[in-house]
Amino acid sequence: MKIKIENSSKKTSLLCGFVLENTTKSLGLPKFDTKTTISINQSLKDMEGKLGKINIVPLSEKNPIQRILLAGIGKKENLTNDTIRFVSGKIAQKARELKLKEFSIVSPPSFIHDPISTVSQIIEGTKMALYKFDKFKAEKTEPSPDLTIIISKSTKISKIIKTSEIVADGTIFTKSIANLPPNECTPTTLANFSKTIAKKNKMKCSIISEPELKKKGFGGISAVGQGSKNQPKLIILEHNHGPKNEKPIVLVGKAVTFDTGGISLKPGSAMDEMKFDKCGGCTVLGIMKAVSELKLPLNIVGIIPSVENMPGGESYRPGDIIKLYSGKTAEILNTDAEGRLILADALSYGEKQYSPKAIIDFATLTGACIVALGTNVAAIVSNDEKLTKKICESSKRTTEEIWELPLNQDYMDMIKSDVADMKNVGIGRAAGTITAAAFLKNAIEKTPWAHIDIAGVAWTQGATKEKSYNPKGATGFGVRLILDYLQRL
């Protein structure tokens, strides 16, 4: 899909304008002849600008503008940072349904939204809504139509178009690898994807495999990985575009390409969804791809521990005591609590190797997170107020919602073990998301750190709120969020 800007619309198959609720005008549409104006007015009356409603007014065949699309955005006081994004997504899906080659959206005037954020929302919404995971289907989705945004041209607008396209493409990349089935996406596949993007975008990429993992002390990654014939990998990507001696930001993402639970086997129902247990790692990959394409003047490191958690004769077991990269020992009481083991290794490695300014990790870590916050809000647990505040500010802008959970000494005490430095589960089902975070906190000595549990939001589940730009499957949650955070540093 190609995107361009024009000052005014001359010729198009579909000219789209936004409409506020209970208004009689579409925002920014040009003047038409009397007959057309009457039809448009009738359509406006029918739809009343109701949020998400779409009406199409066909024009005469001779007209260079073949159809008008009116898209309701609801009441002005109810507009959010997401409205233009998901309504644009709906428009784009309609344009594809009509099998159009191109369509145009009139950017609403600045009293609705500042033009920069409007343009980025239109681009993110349309691009993300048009993504479809059809790799394994004979019947392919119609090709995506090209988009023209009608707005007065300026260098600022041209720049935001490019940026928004890269951000949307990063999210789509994350979705497209996160959606891959576990037989087609092993830790080695993820390592190969990483090498490919690194090569294309001039990043440094290193992969640590067995037996080096074990030799170097990555006891968590080795233990979880040992039950699968698909060998574990630790993927490290470096984008070095900041001042030479500036400390980097480290991003860590859990990539369990399939989580059966291991010897503590999961129940069968919905186990297939555990192909999405690699979403944290995929988020980090999407961010690194975008960061390198944007050439952000920062030093950023992406670390992705990747394993397959399988039961078998070689698997780690409940009762095992393993030594993590930090040097601390962990008693395994449930092999299904594997995410914290591989993340702990990656977090300690990130801190020791890079002395970063901050570490942020993403993980589909706990089912408890879905119980606590549902499927539309992620949890953030952190040791640093300032870092949390910044990420929460970005979350307001990108509308990827997060909510902070506490982490005090009482929670740290809940993972104390009788026989090792800690155990890999808490006490019963109490505060499962926080006790998992407590385990991670032990991996970090002094660096500001934020952990984002995306178990509920990384893919669409039963209770997921429907959004045009999040079709069924992986959502790419966190890519836009962290790109916003990084761009504001």
Give the binding site for ligand BES (CB under 6 A). 259, 277, 334, 336-339, 364-368, 425, 432, 455
223 binds, among ligand BES, Zn ion, none (CB under 5 to 8 A by kind): none
68 binds, among ligand BES, Zn ion, none (CB under 5 to 8 A by kind): none
Q: Provide the β-strand partners of residue 303.
A: 236, 252
**Comparison of 82 and 336: residue with beta carbon closer to ligand BES:** 336
Rounded to whole angstroms, the Cα distance separating 269 from 257 reads: 18
Q: Provide the β-strand partners of residue 322.
A: 330
Q: How far is the CB of 258 from Zn ion (least distance, A)?
A: 9
Beta strands in 376-439 (DSSP E): 378-382, 402-404, 422-423
Q: How far is the CB of 82 from ligand BES (least distance, A)?
A: 24
Q: How far is the CB of 284 from ligand BES (least distance, A)?
A: 16
Residue nearest to ligand BES (CB): 367
Secondary structure (3-state) at 322: strand
Catalytic hit among 340, 441, 467, 480:
340
Measured between its terminal Cα atoms, the distance across the chain in Å is: 30
Rounded to whole angstroms, the Cα distance separating 374 from 345 reads: 28
**Comparison of 266 and 357: residue with beta carbon closer to Zn ion:** 266
**Comparison of 72 and 280: residue with beta carbon closer to Zn ion:** 280
Long-range pairs, 137-143, Cβ under 8 A, ≥24: 141/96, 142/96, 142/97, 142/99
> What is the contact surface with Zn ion in residues (CB under 5 A)?
256, 259, 277, 336, 338-339
Q: How far is the CB of 202 from Zn ion (least distance, A)?
A: 33
82 binds, among ligand BES, Zn ion, none (CB under 5 to 8 A by kind): none
401 vs 19, 39, 130, 226, 457, CA distance in Å? 26, 40, 22, 36, 9
Q: How far is the CB of 337 from ligand BES (least distance, A)?
A: 4
Catalytic hit among 50, 214, 247, 266:
266
Rounded to whole angstroms, the Cα distance separating 348 from 326 reads: 6
Report the largest interatomic distance among the alpha carbons of the chain, rounded to a whole angstrom. Answer: 84
41 binds, among Zn ion, ligand BES, none (CB under 5 to 8 A by kind): none
Nearest Cα neighbor of 112 from 77, 146, 86, 85 is: 77
3-class SS shares of the chain: helix, strand, coil, % to 5: 35, 20, 45
**Comparison of 338 and 351: residue with beta carbon closer to ligand BES:** 338
**Comparison of 245 and 269: residue with beta carbon closer to Zn ion:** 269
439 vs 224, 436, 483, CA distance in Å? 16, 5, 27
**Comparison of 12 and 366: residue with beta carbon closer to ligand BES:** 366
293 binds, among Zn ion, ligand BES, none (CB under 5 to 8 A by kind): none
Q: How far is the CB of 422 from ligand BES (least distance, A)?
A: 13
* Residue 340 known to be catalytic: yes
71 binds, among Zn ion, ligand BES, none (CB under 5 to 8 A by kind): none
Q: How far is the CB of 91 from ligand BES (least distance, A)?
A: 32
145 binds, among ligand BES, Zn ion, none (CB under 5 to 8 A by kind): none
DSSP state of 76: G
Rounded to whole angstroms, the Cα distance separating 474 from 178 reads: 6
Tokens of 227: 């039950």
**Comparison of 277 and 484: residue with beta carbon closer to ligand BES:** 277
Alpha helices in 146-217 (DSSP H): 155-178, 187-200, 212-216
* Residue 140 known to be catalytic: no
Which DSSP helix (H) or strand (E) runs through 127?
Answer: helix 115-130
| Catalytic positions, written as ranges | 266, 340
